[in-house]
């Protein structure tokens, strides 16, 4: 798997400059996805190597990195694949937590497939909580572990074995920023923010910026909770203004607080999705039906944010 992903991420990132190259990359991504969807589950079922998390008792809470993920019934069957990617990292997170809504899994563990339950013996923590949609990805991990760093991941992507290593290394050099693996550059025209679909996607940035929009589930490292104010964790307000887009809620609040995003650009490309799980995602409604723009403007208007950006 990692050979295919390494080749994909190694190719020059010229998508914003060449239409033909963009088509080539998309076709390549489809080919890689087909191969991974076909062979990776077979590999996981046949291999005798079952990596597990090792507790490092010398680490204090502020030295702990938590990989945090959420899922829901339509995708839970294949969530184990993304989780396996995290267990097979070259440098593993200290903890991996899967947050699930009690309302969606009323029988708790009895509602989960065996391939998820089996991962508990290797260190997976499964926790049930209130349904706050994609915000479950980070919210409870940060509230319950205020001194730890949280890395947000989605439940429907293949992850390169070095992504955790690179995010942690980048954070240690830049602890004052959000560390992303994929970003879009917010677009402006005459001082007005443009619709989300017109932003420069997978933007290759070399400097941190307030106007880099991290796509949270591709792998985003969040510093300890003390960096942020309590408004960010106002659950009622969050669900009123941006219920379906955790990355929008984060982006507008980061602008409000003046906290920049720094991207480690190796993985700054459209991700490879697991099987048909992306069909059940919020991407289409958020992006293609304008829901993301609505949530952006809800947040901007509420916080009274205007721009003088180029």
Distance CA 124, CA 99 (A): 11
- pLDDT at residue 281 in the model: 54
Domain map of the chain by residue range? 2-46, 61-303
pLDDT exceeds 80 at position 163: yes
Torsion of CA 231, 138, 174, 303, to 10 degrees: -30
For residue 175, the Cα-to-chain-centroid distance in whole angstroms is: 18
Distance CA 18, CA 16 (A): 6
The CATH code of domain 61-303 reads 3.90.550.10
pLDDT category at 56 given cuts 50, 70, 90 is confident
Segment 179-223, tens digit of pLDDT: 999 999 999 998 899 999 999 999 999 999 999 999 999 999 999
- pLDDT at residue 55 in the model: 78
To which H or E segment does residue 38 belong? helix 19-46
Instruction: Decide if 181 contacts 89 (C-beta within 8 A).
Output: no
Distance CA 177, CA 21 (A): 32
- pLDDT at residue 309 in the model: 54
SS3 61: helix
Segment 37-51, tens digit of pLDDT: 999 999 999 999 999
Residues β-bridged to residue 151: 67, 221
Which pTM does this prediction carry?
0.94
To which H or E segment does residue 80 belong? helix 79-87
Distance CA 118, CA 52 (A): 11
**Both tokens of residue 309?**
């950006």
Residues β-bridged to residue 96: 67, 124
């Amino acid at each position: 798997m990692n050979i295919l992903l390494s080749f994909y991420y190694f190719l020059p990132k010229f998508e914003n400059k060449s239409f033909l190259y963009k088509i080539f990359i998309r076709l390549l991504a489809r080919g890689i996805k087909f191969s991974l969807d076909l062979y990776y589950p077979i590999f996981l079922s046949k291999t005798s190597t079952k990596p597990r998390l090792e507790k490092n008792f010398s680490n204090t809470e502020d030295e702990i990195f938590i990989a945090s993920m959420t899922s829901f019934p339509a995708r839970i069957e294949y969530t184990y694949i993304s989780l396996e990617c995290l267990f097979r990292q070259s440098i593993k997170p200290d903890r991996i937590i899967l947050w699930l809504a009690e309302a969606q899994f009323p029988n708790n563990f009895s509602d989960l497939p065996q391939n998820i339950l089996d991962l508990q013996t290797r260190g997976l923590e499964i926790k049930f909580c209130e349904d706050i949609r994609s915000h479950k990805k980070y919210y409870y991990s940060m509230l319950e572990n205020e001194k730890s760093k949280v890395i947000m991941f989605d439940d429907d992507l293949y992850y390169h074995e070095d992504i955790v290593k690179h995010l942690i290394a980048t954070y240690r050099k830049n602890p004052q920023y959000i560390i992303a693996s994929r970003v879009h550059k917010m677009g402006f025209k005459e001082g007005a923010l443009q619709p989300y679909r017109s932003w420069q996607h997978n933007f290759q940035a070399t400097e941190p910026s307030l106007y880099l929009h991290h796509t949270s589930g591709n792998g985003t490292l969040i510093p300890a909770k003390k960096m942020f104010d309590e408004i960010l964790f106002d659950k009622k307000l969050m669900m009123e203004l941006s219920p379906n887009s955790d990355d929008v809620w984060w982006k507008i609040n980061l602008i409000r607080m003046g906290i920049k995003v720094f991207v480690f650009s190796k993985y700054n490309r459209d991700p490879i999705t697991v099987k048909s799980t992306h069909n059940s995602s919020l991407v289409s409604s958020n992006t293609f039906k304008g829901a993301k723009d609505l949530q952006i403007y809800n947040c901007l208007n509420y916080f009274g944010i205007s721009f003088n950006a180029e």
